[in-house]
Every structure is written in C-alpha cells, then in structure tokens.
Structure 1
Amino acid sequence: MEILREYQNWLKEDAKTDKTIENYRTDVKGFLEWIGSKVDLEQLRRADFRNYFHHLRERAFAVSTINKKVNSLRSFNDYLLEEEIISKKLVYPEKDRIKIAKGSNSNIEIFSADEVERILSYLDREEISQRDRMIVHLLLYTGIRVGELVEIRLKHLDLLVGELKVVGKGSKYREIPLNQKVRKSIRSYLQEERNNSKYKESDYLILTQRSPKAHRDTINNLLNKIGDEVDLKVYPHKFRHTCFTILIRKGVDIATVSELAGHSSIETTHRYYLSTSKEEKAKAVELL
C-alpha cells in the first residue's frame, strides 16, 4: 500500500528505530486491512477506530497487544493529521487503552479565546524555557505543521524583515510573516538559551539537550506537558486550526489563508476553516 510506504518514510524522518517502525507498520497494516474499502482515509471517524478496538477485544486479543495497537494507531493518526488527510485527532490512548470514548462530531478542534489566554499565561511563568515559549508562539501565530517546525534552519529566518521561509510538502517553500511576539521569542532564544547550548553551531533553529535538532516527539512531549498543566487537550494541529480559524473570523480572505497554510488548493482551506463550529451552531439555535 502506498500509504504504508509514505507512513514508514514519515517514521524514518522522525528518527524512529527500525523495530518501532516495523511494529507500527504491522499494526497499521492490520487496521487498514480490517477497514478495507469500507471508507476512504479522508472520511475516517473516531467510530472507525473505536469499532476496530472493539473487534480486537471480541477476538480475545491480550490487553497488552490491544494497548500496543492503540499506540501505533495514535502515531498513524498523527501522520494523517500532519499530512492533512484528516482534520482532527481520532485516537486517544488515555481513553482507548481503558475504554472507548463516545465519538465526537466532525468539526475541527480549536482553542477558545479563554483557552489561548490560559496557555499564554502559563508560558509567561519564569520557569518556562525560552525555547518552549518560542515553540508554542510559532505554532500558534504561524500555523505551521510540526514537521515543518522541526525542519526550520537558521537560514530560513529573517528577523529584520520579520519573515520565515517554511519547507512544506513536496519541498515547496512558502514565506510566512512573523508578528512582534514571535520575533521577540525567537530573538530571546537565539541570544540566550540557544547561544549557550553545546549544539549552537547546528543549522537548525530548535535544539535539545541531547541533539542538534528537535524531532516531533520533542514537540509532542512538550505539548502534552503543557496540556497537563493547563488541563486542556493540546496537540500541534490544534494550534494550526486555531491560527487559521482566527484569521478567517477576522476577515482575512481565504486565498491568503490558503497560502499561509501551504494548502494545495483553496478547496482544502474551505473544507477545514469555513465550516461552522459546534459553538457557533449552538449560538445560532439560541437566536430562534
């Protein structure tokens, strides 16, 4: 299957071990063979994964085996999100490893204004590193994908002009303006924390204590920690969806949003960001 080959390459780019790649690939292949031609990947719902996990329990798979498959399909879910084949998170290990949660509607998930404020307030704490603050600001105020984030090189930044060149799908570049908050975060990180790192000669913007380049797991682990601290579901694409939804609601034309998002067509942007949210539907009904 072509999708399996592309997923396997995605795992390799994220520096997963050969053993992990093989285990994930085997588990995902099992799911794809089970679902067969019943649904296109773009039409996947949480219920499809829920039914698959129920199928595994009915076949008396060991709990440890099912939990391993849940983890593998969570990774596959992340891949589908990053490639924008689907528009929301569908696998939740913290729920699926214990019991199957009820399915949710098809709307994308975004942060409310209050939730954004909670996250930003948390980032203002003194103990938060300059790197972590910068990472969240980049995700929230540029809407870049996590795969694009970890690939940012110093040469892609022009802080004088306030611009970031992003390497998107198909190795295509797009230019994204940086607001003052993001510029300030990047400058602080470059001048202090990063400048004091043993990997400061690295070409990449985001470093870790053990590597001259951050990987997706670095970002996901950071966001999971923030989510625990502020009691929210926090993951990369939720920032992306929030960024572009805010732009649409503030009247930015869809063609501009599509370019900033790096979508292949305006139709993709329309499908993601011009649908009515659950909250907006509820407010509309209250007007009756």
Structure 2
Amino acid sequence: MNDLTPETALQLYLDDKSKTAAESTIQSHSDRLSHFVGWFNEETDYEYLHELDGMDIRLWRVWRFDSDEHSDAYIKAVQDSLRVFLRFCRDVEAVDAQLPEKVHSPDGGQQRSNEIPADRAIHILEYLDRFEYASLDHTLFHLLWYGLLRVGGARAIDLDDIDFQNDRIELHHRPESGTTLKNGRHSERTIAIRPTTREILRDYVDTHRENVTDEYGREPLFSTEHGRAHQNTLRNRIYAVTRPCLHRDCPHDTDPDSCDAARRRNWACECPSSESTHAIRRGSISWHLRQETPKQIVSDRADVEPDVLSRHYSSLTDGEKAEVRRGELPDELGEV
C-alpha cells in the first residue's frame, strides 16, 4: 500500500482529471473534496489515506452533512465525487480496494450542532455519574470535557502518564509506538486535572479498565481486551453516550427498541442528535471562556493557537466576550 497524504492524492487526482475534464468540472471536484481533506486533517489523527476504513467513511458523512441545509442533489454530488476520488486512490494502491464502495449517499441531512452546550454536557455527565460511574464512557467523556483533549490525545495516555499525587497528566507524542498527537512534539504538554477527575480516573483504573498492555508493552489508559482502544472505538463511545434517548425521550419520535442507532453502539453516529468528540471539545472551549478562563490558558490546555481559538472555537456573544476581557483586566492602582 502506498503512503499518500490526502493533499498529495487530491493533487494527483486533479492533475489526472484535467486531461479529460473541463476546468469548471475540475474546480467543482476540488471544492467538494477540499472538505474531505479538511475533515481528514482535523477530525482524524491519521497521516496517510490507507489508514481509513469503512467506519471513517461513515463518520465523514455524518460530519459533512451536519445540518438540514443541504439538498439531496448536493449531497449526492459530494458523495459521488468522493467515491470517484477514492476509486482513483484505489487504482494507485493508496486505499483499501473496498473503501470506495463504502461511500453512500446519506438518508438525509443530519442535524447535529457544532458544539455541545454546557447544559447538555451536564445532563450527560449526571447520567453517567449515576448509572455508569467510572466506566470507560464516563471517564472518557469527563476527561474530554474537562481536559479539553482531542480523542487522539486521550487515546495516547498511558497509566504512567498520570500523576495521581499531583493531579496531572502528561501528553506525549510517540509515533514510534503507535500514538501520535495532532501537532506532533508541539502538542506535548502537561495538564492539571481536578480532584474529581483524579478520583474518576483512579476508580476507572481500579474497577473497569481492562488490565492489558498494547503491542508495544505500554499500559494504555483506555483499553479493551485486545489492547489500546482504537480511535474509532472511542469515537463510537461518544456518539453512543450523547444519544438523547439515554436520559430523555427521543426528540425524533423514534422507538429506541426498533432504532438501530439506539440498539447498536457502532451505529450510534446515525442518530441525528448524537455528537462527535469534536463537538465536546468545541463546547468545552466555549464553556471555559464563558467561565472567564484566560484565553492563553485555554489555548495552552487545548493545544489551539489563540487566533484559531478566536476565529473558530468561541461562540460567545459580544457581551460575553466583553465580560471575559473584563476578568483579565488588572486591579485598580493602589495608593502611591
């Protein structure tokens, strides 16, 4: 299998298509597929296209059509372009031979939010704390929300990275042993955790964590009986615990007993109201800013540049932004 990044593959594809297609067609394919490249770089921790599998294609579809503003014709055009692109990648042995045929048109536009609001996160955490305390799901959601972590960062944590004495977690980029951070060595950092987070982590490790090592002899925090949990496994866990039918009536008037998204964890992303790990991260960043956490602290903790934070992650109103800035102003001068 050839190692091709999505950017390189897209350029090769467009160069090849330019031999037979009109310029307008090339531009249309470029515009549609640029979203796929953006999703690959932002939502996965992969480097090469051959790391994609069928579940990733399903998650892409959910991410791309996250509102009801897209017509069926547009959805079909995007998915058809992606399928043709992946067939090109298959022909140059850059993706699994079966992957292109796993690109299907969605049943309809999804209706997810871009971020989970704090009140919804509270409901989810209350449910998990009451019914699934210190489970993998509870521990993962709690750590993503309060730690401002990407799912790849959470997956990379080993037991030895947790300092229970001083309430800290170290994040390390270890590509040589199967775990990477989004921005490589630049993403390495130490984060402080709350006492509540420490206790949930300790109870999870003592009672629910699978006591296994991974293929490199490391002890992953988030494990299955087979070793370190796959990133898609953790994503599916989040889709599952954010389904609203877990703690209230289904907003889509669907019977959970006959709903595949409710009955099958791996299909949870099909629920229009389930949420991605990225939505947790965005929601938590906005919540931290609303709590007047200084922007630089949020930036360092979340591994996001301050200008990106301002541009993409904060959904604060102008008034809320003013109050955050007020909290960062110095006190009045004392008597001289």
Shorter-chain TM-score bucket reads 0.5 to 0.7
Say how many residue pairs are matched. 223
Aligned partners of 1:159, 1:117: CA distance in 2, in Å? Answer: 25
Alignment partner of 1:269 out of 309, 320, 328: 309
Alignment partner of 1:166 out of 155, 164, 171: 171
Aligned pairs for 1:75-224 within 5 A: 97-100=106-109, 108-113=114-119, 115-127=120-132, 130-167=135-172, 168=181, 169-172=183-186, 173-194=188-209, 197-199=211-213, 202-209=218-225, 211-224=226-239
Q: Please tell me whether the aligned partners of residues 212 and 223 of structure 2 are also in contact (alpha carbons under 8 angstroms).
A: no
Structure 1 length normalisation: TM-score? 0.62
Match of 2:242?
227
Match of 2:6?
3
The Cα shift of 1:14 comes to: 11
Aligned pairs for 1:31-110 within 5 A: 52-55=74-77, 68-70=102-104, 97-100=106-109, 108-110=114-116
Aligned partners of 2:236, 2:74: CA distance in 1, in Å? Answer: 26
Q: Please tell me whether the aligned partners of residues 212 and 219 of structure 2 are also in contact (alpha carbons under 8 angstroms).
A: no
Structure 2 length normalisation: TM-score? 0.54
CA, structure 1 residues 160+49, in 2 after alignment: closer, same or farther (shift >3 Å)? farther
Structure 1: runs of 5 or more not aligned: 32-44, 71-95, 281-288
The Cα shift of 1:170 comes to: 1.6
CA, structure 1 residues 125+199, in 2 after alignment: closer, same or farther (shift >3 Å)? farther
Q: Please tell me whether the aligned partners of residues 66 and 97 of structure 1 are also in contact (alpha carbons under 8 angstroms).
A: no
Aligned partners of 2:162, 2:49: CA distance in 1, in Å? Answer: 23
Structure number with greater CO (CA < 8 Å, separation at least 6) is 1
Aligned partners of 2:153, 2:117: CA distance in 1, in Å? Answer: 21
The Cα shift of 1:212 comes to: 1.4
User: 2:75 is matched by which residue type in structure 1?
Assistant: F
The Cα offsets for residues 166-213 of structure 1, whole Å up to 9 and x where unpaired, read as: 23312231111101221011100122223x63559742111112x210
Q: Please tell me whether the aligned partners of residues 14 and 215 of structure 1 are also in contact (alpha carbons under 8 angstroms).
A: no
Question: Sequence identity of aligned pairs in percent?
Answer: 20
The Cα shift of 1:137 comes to: 0.8
Match of 1:245?
286
Structure 2: runs of 5 or more not aligned: 9-36, 62-66, 84-98, 173-180, 251-272, 321-336
CA, structure 1 residues 2+56, in 2 after alignment: closer, same or farther (shift >3 Å)? closer
Secondary structure of 2:228's counterpart equals: coil
The Cα shift of 1:48 comes to: 7.9
Aligned partners of 1:46, 1:241: CA distance in 2, in Å? Answer: 20
Structure showing greater Rg: 2
